[in-house]
Structure 1
């Protein structure tokens, strides 16, 4: 069997899995937006991914072991997507991308808030969010008494938007994590 990879470099191999234009945004929406159904991922993203591209990225991410797809018990024609442990371990990568973007790109204050809070909270906050994702996606309970990081991020976002005199984006405010 021929080698399917350009090289065995860990950065190259990671880029081959998640380095396209859409995969990280799909993961962002699953991690920070609580989106787990195709329709949610399709319609509630600011970037406007096409349905065929989304279907392809979800298939690829599942093939690579980053997410899983299962029948939704609440609706026979729906599937629910979940992060695997490998997908959850991409959270620090997303956090670093957000921090870089905040420093070097013209981001909006409200959209940069999550990145700033995660940076300020450091590894303890990131690990707590990873534990929360494990509970939601893998069914592994968080340590007792652990506050919801997603709820903290949502409250901060809503406060920031209100201080700017705007109404919170219902796509972000509806985060169920």
Structure 2
């Protein structure tokens, strides 16, 4: 068959992008995390509208990516279960609370246990399924927990449990 009769652009209107994997089960979030999820959806909707308003729309990949991202974000929103830590009594480490720990050198660090989508290591916000959060959950002030890190275990003393900043 001659190459003149082959449509090399077939399917170019709708690029096939793999879907982003949506974790099974509920998406546990703090009220701040729920607000952030709504904000991400609004931003991505604006991005998609701007992409569709482009005068030159030959490249459909950015639009397809925005639509895929919106499907993922909306699935995360649909699965969201909000846990408001304001009701916690601060007697033990729980989801949404800030916990300050002291390492063997006496350095104190405060971590906040938040939903998976809210986790941010640079802000010391950790997901509840992380090894550190699993070690901290349920502990009380004065308890020593062992954080099993890849570089080796470390003992941390719970110094303070508080409500996180909004």
Length-normalised TM-score, structure 1: 0.24
Q: Which has the larger radius of gyration?
A: 2
TM-score scaled to structure 2, two decimals?
0.25
